[in-house]
Amino acid sequence: MEKLYIIKIGGNIIDDETKLSSFLKEFTSVQGKKILIHGGGKLATQIASQLGVEQQMVEGRRITDKDTLRIVTMVYAGYINKNIVAQLQSFGCNAMGLSGADGNLVQAHKRKKGAIDYGFAGDIDSVNIPLIAHLLELGITIIVSPITHNLEGQLLNTNADTMAHEIAKSMSADYDVNLIYSFEKNGVLLDANDDSTTIASLQPAHYAQLKKEEKIFAGMIPKLDNAFAALDSGVKQVTIGKAEQLQQLIAHTAGTKITND
C-alpha cells in the first residue's frame, strides 16, 4: 500500500512564527502524500480575552459556548488555517485548507451533556474517505482545521488530536498510514521538564505503569489514548515528538514510537 503521512501539529509551535515556519519547511520536504491537522488554542484564548468572552477549560478541553464557537471558527478555520496554507504554497507545497464541514470531510455530533457540558463540542461520526483520496490524487496536501459539523447546519469544535486519530484510522484501509503527533517536546518524557528523558518506544503495559506512577498526566493522556487507539485500529505507525524534528520522527531517530509489542 502507498504511504500516507498524517501529521498533527499543536502546542506552542503554532503560536511561534519562527518555529511554525521552520516546521512548515520540514513538512514541505516530506515526500509523498500527506495531511496536516492543526490546533491553535492560544490564539483563540487571546482573541477571546480581547473580545471579553470568558474561556473555561476542563482537563485541557475548551468549553465551547456560542461565542466561543464563533471565535474558534474564526481563529482555527480562518486565521491559522489560511496562514499555514499561504506559507506552504510559498514553499511549493500545494496546500488546501479544509474544515470538517467542507465537502463533509469530517461529520460529528454534539457531545451529550455528562457531568460536564462541553457545549458545541463535536464527537466524530465519519470521515469522507473518497474525498480525501480524490484530493490526494490531485496532488493536494490537505490542511485540516479542527472544526466539524453535524450535517444539520451546526459547526462543532473538535479536539485536533482526535481529528488526527480518526482521519488516520479511516484512511488506513487504503494507505499505509504513518501518524505523527508533533508538538514542542521531544516525545513522551519520564520527567516532563527534561527533554533528555524521552522514552524511545512505549508499549501499553509501560504506559499503564507510567500513568499509575503519575509520571504521565494532563494533556499527554488523551494524546496517548488517541495514539494507542489509532494503532489498534489499523494505523501502521504512530510517533510522538518535536515538530522541528519531523524528518527524524519519520526516520525513527527521534521521538517516542508508540507500539503494541
Which residue ranges make up the site for its own copies (CB under 8 A)?
47, 50-52, 70, 73-79, 81-83, 85-87, 89-90, 94-99, 101-104, 131, 134, 138, 140, 147, 149, 151-155
Closer by beta carbon to its own copies, 61 or else 70: 70
Residue 39 CB, shortest distance to its own copies, in Å, is 15
Cell numbers at 257, concatenated:
514510537
E runs forming strands in 32-135: 33-38, 57-58, 61-62, 95-98, 106-110, 122-127
Tell me whether residue 82 is exposed, middle or buried, using C-beta atoms within 10 angstroms of its C-beta: 0 to 12, 13 to 18, 19 or more.
middle
Strand partners, 7: 36, 180
Cβ–Cβ under 8 Å, residues 223 and 211: no
Closer by beta carbon to its own copies, 47 or else 229: 47
Q: φ and ψ at 257, to 5 degrees?
A: -90, 125
Type of residue at 199: I
The helix/strand/coil state of 42 is: helix
Closer by beta carbon to its own copies, 67 or else 225: 67
Residue 62 CB, shortest distance to its own copies, in Å, is 16
Residue 88 CB, shortest distance to its own copies, in Å, is 9
Closer by beta carbon to its own copies, 98 or else 235: 98
Residue 44 CB, shortest distance to its own copies, in Å, is 10
